Amino acid sequence: MYYWTKHRAKFLIITLCAVLVYGVSQGERWFTPLAQPQAHDLNPPKYFGDMVYDVSSNPLTAEGVALGRALFYDPILSLDSTISCASCHSSYTAFSHVDHALSHGIGDTIGKRNAPPIQNVGWHKTFRWDGGLTHLDAQVMAPLHNATEMASNLPLVFERLRRSDHYPALFEAAFGDTSISTRRFIDALVQFQLILISDNAKYDSVHRGQAKFTAQEKKGFKLFKRNCASCHKPPLFMNNDFTSNNLPIDSSLMDLGRYHVTQRPQDSLLFKTPSLRNIEYTFPYMHDGRFKTIYEVLDHYNSNVMPLSDEEQTEIYTFLLTLSDYSFIRNPDFAFPR
């Protein structure tokens, strides 16, 4: 007892010094904050105008995008782990479902519509052919639950993500800790879709003054401006509106388009005007994928909307090919993560 009282001061000083020395030696670890997610700048071209999606509500980070990309390509999101978002939205076809008129989901069930491309979605006011969804967040949950798409549910998916050997670390890198929530799941998937910006077609190079149209493309653009651009409005080649191109109704599908959402008779058979960017890759065409080629589409316009001579059709066709963005469909950052 006496010994302890006498030497207490000494002990305390030695202990303090030891702690201090340890502290300094470990200084870097103690004082450096945990790695912060790196901001991912979108840098869209100015001529696209303001984005509709409010990025400040979900600031993009490299880690958030990486997580979203992993989820987008992962079949564990579907009930039987067979279908990923990418099953119907393939990067090589501008994220559409090539060669499938109607989308194919879980258990080979057939959907009612053609899977549209996912490109420049930050500028879309509504989603789906009928605009039934008004926020990109909702477009993440819908396919997950849809019986003919992934037929899945969040508790199941979250359980799988928590048990996986890599998702907890991906969530931690993106959001600071390993907890998996609906908000984080949606934010990450949306972040990945927002980076899918197609702005590098020949049309864009011409717009930026870096290339010139051929004589035929120029004639095609002129015809396009006269006959098509009111609905397929450059530079996004859509108008965020619901229109009709006089497509006769398919009597087996009986798809009334916008009417299903609003129930207003005047909206019957109106569909969201699709963007024509990357149209070369996104066949088959229309909400039900009824046309296999661009020429079949042009033939429809000639027969049912406005007369277009063979020569004019060829010129428009040539112009439409200037909307192909090879660097978009081959961008390694958008492909299956390896």
Residue 271 host element (H or E): strand 271-272
Which residues in the 205-234 window bind ligand HEC by CB under 6 A?
227-228, 230-232
* Token pair for 41: 């700048």
Q: Binding ligand HEC by CB under 6 A: which of 286, 318, 322, 334?
A: 286
69 binds ligand HEC (CB under 6 A): no
Q: From 17-25, 31-39, 137-145, 155-163, give the range in contact with ligand HEC by CB under 6 A.
A: 137-145
Nearer to ligand HEC, 95 or 175 (CB): 95
Nearer to ligand HEC, 178 or 227 (CB): 227
Task: Give the count of alpha carbons within 13 A of 263, CB side only.
Answer: 0
Which residues in the 293-322 window bind ligand HEC by CB under 6 A?
294, 297, 301, 316
> How many residues sit in the footprint of ligand HEC (CB under 6 A)?
49
Site string for ligand HEC, 247-276 (x = CB under 6 A): x-----------------------x-xx-x
Which of helix, strand or coil describes residue 46?
helix
Q: Are 211 and 203 in contact (CB under 8 A)?
A: no
Residue 178 beta carbon to ligand HEC: minimum distance, rounded to whole angstroms: 22
Q: What are phi and psi of 210, to 5 degrees?
A: -100, -5
Please name which of 285, 271, 204, 200 lies closest in space to residue 239, comparing C-alpha atoms. Answer: 271
Q: Binding ligand HEC by CB under 6 A: which of 200, 243, 262, 331?
A: 243
Residue 148 beta carbon to ligand HEC: minimum distance, rounded to whole angstroms: 7
Site string for ligand HEC, 176-195 (x = CB under 6 A): -------------x---x--
Q: Binding ligand HEC by CB under 6 A: which of 279, 281, 323, 328?
A: 279
Query: Residue 243 forms beta bridges with which residues?
Result: 271
Residue 327 beta carbon to ligand HEC: minimum distance, rounded to whole angstroms: 20
Q: Are 165 and 292 in contact (CB under 8 A)?
A: no
Which residues in the 96-115 window bind ligand HEC by CB under 6 A?
103-105, 111, 113, 115
Vertex 277, ends 318 and 99: CA angle to 5°?
A: 90
- Cα 83 to Cα 150: distance, rounded to the nearest angstrom: 6
Spatial CB neighbours of 62, under 8 Å, sequence gap ≥ 6: 37, 38, 39, 40
- Amino acid making up residue 242: F
Q: From 12-20, 37-45, 79-87, 203-211, give the range in contact with ligand HEC by CB under 6 A.
A: 79-87
- Cα 297 to Cα 312: distance, rounded to the nearest angstrom: 13
Q: Are 201 and 320 in contact (CB under 8 A)?
A: no
First to last CA, the chain: 66
- Amino acid making up residue 234: P
Residue 265 beta carbon to ligand HEC: minimum distance, rounded to whole angstroms: 17
Nearer to ligand HEC, 25 or 184 (CB): 184
Binding footprint of ligand HEC on the chain (CB under 6 A): 77, 83, 85, 87-89, 103-105, 111, 113, 115-116, 118, 121, 124, 127-129, 139-140, 143-144, 149-150, 189, 193, 227-228, 230-232, 243-245, 247, 271, 273-274, 276, 279, 282, 285-287, 294, 297, 301, 316
